Structure 1
Amino acid sequence: MSEDRGPTFDGVRIGRPATGALVDAGYRSQADLPEDLDELLALHGVGPRAVRLLDEARRGA
């Protein structure tokens, strides 16, 4: 069983499945994420809501 990394990724509350998927894929901060966040949808656990929240955080919305 993998360690629970909580629902927050680098200050953005995207949920546990999405946070775990990003960490497992090697992302450690928002700066590590690809320019096209839609690429993250290919990761199991990352859905449109998580991508939207990360995009809003990136744009400072």
Structure 2
Amino acid sequence: MINLLIMAKCLSSICAVNHVVVQGTFLQGVVAMPARRALQKEKIDSLEKLSDYSEDEIRQLHGIGKNAMERLKIHMREHQISFRN
């Protein structure tokens, strides 16, 4: 039983380091579902992929409004990532 607990702790730390994302949960709790669907449609499922786009490119996606854009910028800033210039 103790071995299982140790293994679970090790696996959870690996997942946290590798930013493993379960399908449909990227940015859950950060932006609303329409914005998440817009990003998913463009196959943007990580902050690294999001940083390959400019603010204007993301803003033009259907489902990304002012509020979603502001929340994205704050969330990216918290993770030391920014949009492409």
Deviation of the 1:10 alpha carbon: 3.4
In the TM superposition, 1:22-41 aligns within 5 A as 22-33=39-50, 34-41=52-59
Output one character per residue of 1:2-54: Cα deviation in whole Å (capped at 9) or x when no partner: xxx4xx53355200000000001110111101353232111100111111111
Give the structure-2-normalised TM-score: 0.53
Structure 2 spans left out of the alignment, 5+ residues: 1-23, 80-85
What is the RMSD of the two structures over their aligned residues, measured on CA atoms? 2.2
Ranges of 4+ aligned residues in structure 1 off by more than 4 Å = none
**Larger-gyration structure (1/2):** 2
Distance in 2, Cα, partners of 1:30 & 1:11:
13
Higher strand proportion: 1
User: Number of aligned pairs?
Assistant: 55
Greater percentage in helix: 2
Q: CA–CA distance in 2 between the matches of 1:47 and 1:24?
A: 16
- TM normalised by structure 1 equals 0.71
Q: Does 1:16 align with 2:33?
A: yes
